[in-house]
Amino acid sequence: MLDIRIMKDEHAFDVAAAWEIIGQILKKPDSVIGLSTGATTKAMHAIVADIYRRYPFDTSRVTLFNVDELTNLPRSYAGCCWTMIQEQLAGPLEIPADRFLMPPTISDDFDSECRRFQESLEARGGADLQMLGLGYNGHIGINQPGTPFGSETWVSPMDPVFESRVRRETGVGDDYPLGGLTLGIRTIMHTRRIVLVAKGEHKAEMVRRMLRGPVTEELPASVLQLHPCCTFLLDAAAARYLSE
Ligand code: GLP
């Protein structure tokens, strides 16, 4: 039986998702929590930050990281995951640099950076909670369709829609190498608890395929059907094809 929670509207979804993060910190103050960037998670992060500002809770032992990061762009680009999470959560929750684990965006040796990122998580006992967005093509992290389920942390190509947006925003040419350093599918599946978050009607068909379709490498998020402790948190719009 999959654990599917459907919230009545977008705001109820944002609050429930924010509460997953806050609840994790209250339950285990030394939690290691993985985050995701994007339109889906922005409002939930703002709610977490707002609650912390108004009713501070103990974040002195929390470790944060993001599931993925762009490669070959400076952190001054607002679309870098480090930059977004720093602004949305790590800064507001007063998490210092040594408890905000992220690979660099610029490096001569991304293979070593992938290893280091994964080892730094393992050294803290692995993630207690991974919040995951759902890509429009079924990707999780930056693992695109076709990524082997056995993949470890690696540098993946971006999806074409996202890549062209990043090229437009940064002005880099088509021959400039861009990619995404992402936890692999196997690494993600080792997280103790996962909350997959999806909202909006534009995600509804992909949500249906993720939950009702076969588990296949052609749709990376479908692997979450096999995780022993994954909650699928949706708003009504994203869930609209589930009951049919
Ligand atoms: C990007 C991120 C993913 C995220 C996805 C969903 O691809 N790298 O980690 O889950 O976007 O984004 P959105 O919430 O904007 O639909």
For the stretch 68-125, pLDDT in tens is 999 999 999 999 999 999 999 999 999 999 999 999 999 999 999 999 999 999 999 9
Over its C-alpha atoms, the chain yields an Rg (Å, rounded) of: 17
142 lines ligand 1 (CB under 6 A): yes
What whole-number distance in Å separates Cα of residue 189 and Cα of residue 185? 6
User: Does residue 74 line the site of ligand 1, with CB under 6 A?
Assistant: no
pLDDT of residue 244: 54
Is the CB of residue 162 below 6 angstroms from any atom belonging to ligand 1? yes
User: Of all atoms in ligand 1, which is nearest to the CA of residue 81?
Assistant: 8
Hey, is 128 helix, strand or coil?
coil
* Distance in Å, CA 131 to ligand 1 centroid: 11
Instruction: Indicate the pLDDT class of residue 243, thresholds 50, 70 and 90.
Output: confident
The token pair at 53 is 């500002």
Instruction: State pLDDT tens for residues 175-221.
Output: 999 999 999 999 999 999 999 999 999 999 999 999 999 999 999 99
Measured in angstroms, how far is the CA atom of residue 32 from the centroid of ligand 1? 20
Q: How far is CA 53 from its chain centroid?
A: 23
Maximum C-alpha span of the chain: 50
Distance 106 CA to ligand 1 centre (A): 21
**Considering only CA atoms, which residue is closest to atom 3 of ligand 1?**
141
How far apart CA 149 and CA 186 sit, in angstroms, is 6
* Helix (H) or strand (E) run with residue 101 in it: strand 100-101
Work out whether the CA dihedral 159, 162, 166, 172 comes out positive or negative: positive
Atom of ligand 1 nearest to the CA of 158: 7
Apex 48 CA angle, 89 and 204, nearest 5? 95
Ligand 1 mean position, distance from CA 135 (Å): 5
150-157: average pLDDT? 97
132 Cα to the center of ligand 1, angstroms = 8
Most ligand 1 atoms within 8 A of CB, residue of 10, 37, 83 to mutate: 37
